[in-house]
Amino acid sequence: MNAFAYVTARTPESAVAAVRSDGRFLAGGIDLLGEMKESLATPTTLVNIKALPGTTEIRSEGGKWRVGANVTLAALAQHTEMRRLFPGLVEAAGEVGSPQIRHVATVGGNLAQHSRCWYYRHRDVTCRKKGGTTCLAREGESKYHSLFTGCMCISPVCSNLAIALAALDARVGVHRGRRVEALTVAQLFESAWKTPTDHHSLRPEDLILHVELGAPAGSRSAYLQLSEKADFDWALVSCAAAGTVDRGTLRGIRVVLGSVAPIPWMVDEANAYLNGKPLTAEHADRAAELILKDARPFTGNAYKVPLARALIRRTLLKLAA
């Protein structure tokens, strides 16, 4: 690990000024410190952002809920109103790592974490995401990789919260330049679809401050994932769904898949198909067909297609529970 300077920021403006283009923000540090130990990240400055005001709070504001970027996943999962209003988000938080990790890992860090691809994480390999010329997973071990991609890299998004927040149509408050921009989850990750070296759309000096959620009357949400191990494991495939169920009829439903693309995978055609339909297994299966119709499996990950189909059905039917 290289030598670095350490700064504690008291305001977003001072944090951005200190990090510049060659530093990194430090909150829980679960992902960043691992990258530094493996020499995948060599920042000259670490900017501690745990003291930024308001970033450890969950509060209601003008009919919406704001979750600070430094709220831990454990605090999010245990919050009474979050559990009542946004069960899908709480379920996603509860699937991250172990209890020990969830007491340290933060909302902002989960959204901003980098790829878990084993080629990217190997210090002796220069894959396409690290600036090489080839995505080694395409012809190599692709078991955990994407079914959909818009660029050479097939490393999938690994943030649980991103999948649930996309289904909930949340906004992510990002300090960018001299103002705070409210980004959709799609905007937060869109650059990873087009640019193989990107993990998300954040620049080094972009700082996540909070997540904002609306809570329409009668809204419901759910999240499910399948992993190789029951605990402390990454999702092979995950699925989130949110919307309203009015006397068995779906309204404004959004279905999102995780671990199948470099971005949270949502198909507008499937959401439009479900709108106004009764919540039945038949309609859930048809939505799954629409969501997965453009899947292009590689040698090692074709199993993800039937997994995703089953998860879409189960997650949608869970909304009626």
Give tens-digit pLDDT for 234-260.
Answer: 999 999 999 999 989 999 999 999 999
Q: What is the pLDDT of residue 61?
A: 83
Task: Answer for the pair 139, 189: CB distance below 8 angstroms, yes or no.
Answer: no
Residue 127's pLDDT is 96
The amino acid that residue 245 corresponds to is V
In this prediction, residue 217 carries a pLDDT of: 74
**CATH 3.40.640.10 assigned to 1-53:** no
Decide if 218 contacts 190 (C-beta within 8 A). no
For CA atoms 199, 200, 205, 209, the dihedral sign is negative
Is pTM beyond 0.95? Reply is yes
pLDDT at 187: 98
Tokens 């990240």 appear where? 41
Domain spans, the chain: 1-53, 219-318
Pick the CATH number of 219-318 from 2.70.70.10, 3.40.50.2000, 3.20.20.70, 3.30.390.50: 3.30.390.50
Residue pLDDT tens, the chain, 321 long: 788 999 999 999 999 999 988 999 999 999 999 999 888 999 999 999 999 999 999 999 888 999 999 999 999 999 999 999 999 999 999 999 999 999 999 999 999 999 999 999 998 999 999 999 999 999 999 999 999 999 999 999 999 999 999 999 999 999 998 899 999 999 999 999 999 999 999 999 999 999 999 988 789 999 999 999 888 889 999 999 999 999 899 999 999 999 999 999 999 999 999 999 999 999 999 999 999 999 999 999 999 999 999 999 999 999 987
Tokens (6 digits) for 9 = 């920021």
